[in-house]
Amino acid sequence: MLTVLIIRGATLSGAIEGVKFYMGTVNLSVLKNPSVWKEACTQVFYALSCCSGGLIAMSSFNNFNNNVYRDTISICLVTWFTSIFGGFAIFTVLGHMATKMGVSVADVAKGGPGLAFVVFPEGLSMMPFAPLWCVLFFLMMCTLGFGSEFSIMETVMASIIDEFKTYLNTPKKIIIFRF
């Protein structure tokens, strides 16, 4: 879906302005600002799901001799690449929206988690078979949400099952279904 949006966004007028805004000029003085570090840490915690227990619960099913370092680096690199890639998808469409409205890219939309629900539907609405793409996008968003919920549920269920293994004689699938 991101690749489709990048390809479509790159063909729109004003996409270059969005990419220029995204890449921006390097201003190292902002690294002195604590709020920048707070926002960066927040992004890392959201993207990697740190401290939610999902990764730990899922990794408990690995083989004992599994290469944890390789898995950790792979997860971090894939998450980083997806975030950068998604930024290009968003900012090509934001550049087009800014050109269409006659304002700067900074004035088009407010940042935050809701940005995807503004920019992606706008980009998808300009594609052939737009309703189909929009349905696929929102189905994808729902499945991403369900996936996050399943990892949270797995954390809770793995903890309960590991703690009360002797008392729970029912299969794990039945316990999860009841929960």
> Which positions ≥6 away from 175 have C-beta within 8 Å?
157, 160, 161, 168
51: left (phi over 0), alpha (psi -120 to 50) or beta: left
User: How many Cβ atoms sit within 10 Å of the Cβ of residue 104?
Assistant: 10
Binding site, residues?
144, 148
Q: What angle do CA 5, 7, 12 make, to 5 degrees?
A: 90
The rounded Cα 50 to chain-centroid distance in angstroms is 13
Binding site for Na(+), residues?
144, 148
